[in-house]
Structure 1
């Protein structure tokens, strides 16, 4: 991709079309006004019609498809023919100094050729026009022999070639900078995606495997328990799925996901679930955060009543988990504790939502989840 070069080509094509057309129209008007003997009207009128008609075609093609090679070749040929016919088209007193309408067309062809082509082609093409104009001036016996306009035109050839070289080098540098920026952005996005996936895997491990290990380590479940074996088998499957991602375009029923996830054993939950279809990654995040909130109730709250409510309002998903347990002071939760910070809040923020934990010691806890933010 070369956006800077493409933009430069578009701008120069439009400028070339506008300049060529303007000079043809203004020069044609000057040619008609400047008809004096021995210049005859008929050749001038024909030349003006050809010049203006071709300029219209040139402008349309240049504006729609750019400065094509064939377009520039025809333009230079038309201009060269008009330059050679100066003796028929321009009154003698106007020929010296490059003041004639034909000299104006020659200048525009030189400039636009440098817009379209690189110097190895544009400079020789411009010199062809210079030679044609000089030859036509000598045939017309111009007072200065055509040398003054020829000198001016040579300077125009060199100056325009130098200017376009500078602009094209600047466009090349800009394209290189943009390419480096795109590569850096893609690398940063890949790294963000990798880290987001890593955080999600960590959350899943915290919600399940680590919780089970803590339960075993504290003696909460006998080693011979059938429930422990079943849970271990489930979590081995989870470990085997690490690295897999959900399809972002899949739509699922969030209420069904919450019912299927259920609650930890021994925790009665009063569910109030509104129907709520949503994208799979959002459903996974909300379900995971809800399960973690319920697991925290089981581990810490000593609650007798838990209520989980799912509602939707103008496309906004809201889940509220409330318990009547012991409560805690959220401000005193250690920074290294992973559960609330990542498994609930971080998980919701990873899909563009958010979460809030409200709790007071002795008065229970409420966990609010919502999406979008």
Structure 2
């Protein structure tokens, strides 16, 4: 088997890249779609929001999410702005909830934050999404503490859901990317095998061609001898010895790298009767 490699610069992780691109787009749609729905719901029923400032913040977040749905940019800057918007909503919990029992049911901040945690964990590497999740949870805890007090923060079960959401999403991302890596490895192995088979077939064809040429050379010498051609006996004997040497050596092998051709040409030319001259060899 002849070792081969794929063309330089060709991607060997196309399945992984495809999965990551799809995850980035899907989670962007999920995150901002949820934000738009939350903003529209709260705008339709402003009584659920504690203060006008909270309503205004959700409207701004909803408009931002609508813009993001239109542009769908996955640039780091836009992702960072999404993260800042999520943290702002978490810190603004006192502006959006009424009463200390808000954490016993779903509310606008938890919908925005929970969706963001899942989206970031699915689309970003764990070393990036984990600090983001911790920051979101800390911001939510700080905002909630302004309503229920720090002593009651451990009772807010949504904080533990953030950890569960991040863990489940990260495991899902890991498993999916492992499958994509296996697909890439299998495709790479198949392409290498196909290239090797093609090269080996070409080498076999070359060997057969050289064998045919060798046969023709020997056959021509025998034909000259059998037909009694007017060739000096010494020349015919030399030709026969050369053919026997070629037969003993077998078909010529394809050399690797540079090949010295001057001496072989001189040896072959020594048997020519036609006048000749070498130019540019020495």
Q: TM-score, normalised by structure 2?
A: 0.67
Whole-Å separation in 2 of the counterparts to 1:47 and 1:105: 10
Q: Deviations over 1:14-68 (max 9, x none)?
A: 1112112210221111111231177344641443233332453377344xxx4x4
Structure 2 unaligned runs (5+)?
A: 1-11, 247-251, 256-282
Aligned to 1:174: 183
Aligned to 1:12: 23
Whether the 8 Å contact between 1:58 and 1:71 is mirrored in structure 2 is no
Aligned to 2:269: none
Look up the SS of the partner of 1:224 in the other structure: coil
Q: TM-score, normalised by structure 1?
A: 0.52
Paired residues in the alignment total 227
Aligned to 2:279: none
Look up the SS of the partner of 2:157 in the other structure: helix
Q: Give the one of 97, 105, 125 matched to 2:132.
A: 125
Equivalences for residues 152-167 of structure 1 within 5 A: 152-167=161-176
2:220 corresponds to 1:212 = yes
Aligned to 1:73: 80
Alpha carbons of structure 1 residues 23 and 37: separation in structure 2 relative to 1, 3 Å: closer
Aligned to 1:26: 37
Aligned to 1:141: 148
Alpha carbons of structure 1 residues 7 and 38: separation in structure 2 relative to 1, 3 Å: closer
2:121 corresponds to 1:104 = no
Q: Deviations over 1:201-259 (max 9, x none)?
A: 334445x4244145236x1352518xx99xx8xxx9xx9x9969xxxxxxxxxxxxxxx
Instruction: Give the superposition deviation at 1:126.
Output: 0.8
Alpha carbons of structure 1 residues 22 and 224: separation in structure 2 relative to 1, 3 Å: same
2:160 corresponds to 1:186 = no
Whole-Å separation in 1 of the counterparts to 2:63 and 2:164: 26
Alpha carbons of structure 1 residues 195 and 92: separation in structure 2 relative to 1, 3 Å: farther
Whole-Å separation in 1 of the counterparts to 2:207 and 2:23: 49
Equivalences for residues 1-373 of structure 1 within 5 A: 1-36=12-47, 39-41=50-52, 43-54=54-65, 56-57=67-68, 60-62=71-73, 66=74, 68-92=75-99, 95-97=102-104, 99-141=106-148, 145=153, 147-206=156-215, 208-216=216-224, 219-222=226-229, 224=231
Whole-Å separation in 2 of the counterparts to 1:190 and 1:205: 23
Alpha carbons of structure 1 residues 45 and 196: separation in structure 2 relative to 1, 3 Å: farther
Q: Deviations over 1:325-358 (max 9, x none)?
A: xxxxxxxxxxxxxxxxxxxxxxxxxxxxxxxxxx
